[in-house]
Amino acid sequence: MKMPDLEQIEWRVSEECVPYREALAAMEARNASIQAGTARELLWQLEHPPVYTAGTSAAASELLDPRFEVVEAGRGGRYTYHGPGQRVTYVLLDLRERGKDVRRFVHALEGWAIGALAQLGVECWTVPERVGIWTKGPDGREAKIGAIGVRVRRWVTMHGFAVNLDPDLSHFTGIVPCGIEEFGVTSLADLGIALAPAAWDEALYAAAPDFLEALQRQDA
């Protein structure tokens, strides 16, 4: 297996919003190139224009108000919103060289997001029966601050996770986010934390070595 070396991986940061379909096509092409051994692995930081994406388990009844474009994403999970103010991390790694364990990969992704948020003083956690990254909202109730959805094709990963920095939270009302009706959605801004996208990227970059190391652990 590869040693956890961030320098081996391309770290890409897109300053402008990238249309979702464009990003999806780029991911699929890069996935194939990584499989073929003709491209490096990729960690990609970006935001999208407003869009609803449907995972492979999405139910039509959970699309409440299709006010934005709806795109079939091909990842696991249900409906998710992406838009300005939400920072997305796409993770394209070769698990043939990093343990070939999808469950470990997902847990490591969750730990990466939670570790970066902890650097900012935000305590977050996962809940076994609920997908995503959870924290306490302004009202003290649990609320989702991050979404996770992945696809693994021939042991090369696609998609990743998204964390709400300062999106328009009303945009989430057009769907049942990830099929979970009884809990709300929050953001760093909603919690009183103003954070520029570049500062979030720096927190993730600082936590990335721990994420890569977690992929190597046999007991993860």
| Residue (of 34, 52, 89) closest to 200 by Cα position | 89
6-215 folds as BirA Bifunctional Protein; domain 2 (3.30.930)
Tens digit of each residue's pLDDT (9 = 90 or more) over 93-105: 999 999 899 999 9
- CA quadruple 140, 55, 46, 117: dihedral positive or negative? positive
* Catalytic annotation present for 124: no
Residue 108: pLDDT over 90: yes
The pTM assigned to this predicted structure is 0.93
Question: Is 160 a known ligand-binding residue?
Answer: yes
Residue 220: pLDDT over 50: no
> In this predicted structure, what is the pLDDT of residue 37?
97
Set 178, 185, 203, 212: catalytic member:
178
> In this predicted structure, what is the pLDDT of residue 177?
79
Retrieve residue 123's tokens: 């305590």
Give dist(CA 190, CA 175) in Å, integer: 19
b/e map of 84-121 (b: 16 or more CB within 10 Å)? bbbbbbbbbbbbebbbeeeebbbbbbbbbbbbbbeeee
> In this predicted structure, what is the pLDDT of residue 1?
41
